[in-house]
Amino acid sequence: MSSHSTDHLDADGFEDDGFEDDEDDDVEEELGPLDRTRPTEHERAGGAHRELSWLLVISGLLGLWASVALTLDYFHTLQDPSFVPACDLNPLIGCGVFLASEQSSAFGFPNVIIGLVAFPVVIATGVLLTGGVRMPRWYWRGLWAGTVFGIGFVTWLQYQALTSIGALCPYCLVIWIATIPLFVHTSARTVQNGALPAGDGLRSLLVANRWIITVLWYLVVLAAAVLLLWDKWLLVF
C-alpha cells in the first residue's frame, strides 16, 4: 500500500508534500518586489489587486447600463414600429438599425439578454474581490471563459456592424469599450494567479503589458471603423 494518501493532494489533484510549496513561497517572496508580474500571496490564494476589482465593477456597470438602455429601446420598437431611438443621430450613428437587424438576435433571442445576465455577475465579482474575498480556481477559470465568450461575440458583432450593417450603435460601443479591457485584464490576472497554466514569459507579457494591449486593441477597432465606414464618415463630417 502506498504511503501517500489523498490528503496530500492539492486542489488541482497534484501530490503535495509541503516542502515544494514552502520553497515556492520563499522564491515568490524574494522575487516579488523585483518582478511586479509575479502574484502576491493574496493573488495566489484567489484574491485580486484593487485595479482588477474596480475594473470589473466599472466595466460591469457600463455594460449593464448600455444593456438596459438597449433593452428599453427594444421594447419601445416592439410596441411602436415607428419608434425612433434617441441615439439615432445620423446615417453613421444609431441604434434603430441594429435593433431591426438579424444580428440583434444571434441566438434566437435578443442579444441584450446576454448583457443583462452577464454584467451583474461581473459587478458582483468585482465587489467581492474589492472586499478581499478569495475566489477558488474554478471560479477564475469560469470567469475567464465567460470573458472569452464575451470578446468573441463582441468581435463578431463588430465585424457585422462594420461590414454588413454599416453603422455604429452608441450603446454597443459602450459594451465594446467595457468588454475589451475586461477580457484582457481577466486573462492577465488569471494567468498570473495560476488558475490558467502558463509559462513565466507569457505571464510577464500579459501582466506587464495589459494596458498597452487594451489601448492597441481600441486603436485597431477605431482604425477598422474609420476605414470600413469611410463613406459614411464623409456624409457626417
What is the CATH classification number for the domain harbouring 108? 1.20.1440.130
What are the average pLDDT values for consecutive 10-residue runs of the chain, which has 237 residues?
46 44 50 69 92 97 97 93 91 92 94 97 97 96 97 98 96 97 96 91 93 98 96 87
In a domain, 190, yes or no: yes
Q: State the CB neighbour count (10 A cutoff) for residue 106.
A: 15
Q: Which residue has the cell 486542489?
A: 11
CB 231: neighbour CB atoms within 10 A?
10
**Residue 100 forms part of a structural domain:** yes
Q: Is 4 contained in some domain?
A: no
Overall domain count for the chain: 1
Among 105, 84, 82, 216, residue whose Cα is nearest residue 160? 105
pLDDT value for 122: 98
Beta bridge partners of 9: 15
Position 40 in a domain:
no
Confirm whether 231 is domain-assigned.
yes
Is residue 30 a part of any domain in this protein?
Answer: no
Hey, how many other C-beta atoms are within 10 angstroms of the C-beta on 3?
Answer: 5
Residue 153 in any domain: the answer is yes
Tell me the residue range of the domain where 232 lies. Answer: 48-236
Contact 151, 28 (CB under 8 A): no
Q: Give the contacts of 184 (CB within 8 A, at least 6 positions apart).
A: 206, 210, 213, 214, 217
Q: Looking at the domain assignment, is residue 36 inside a domain? A: no
CB 95 within 8 A of CB 87: yes
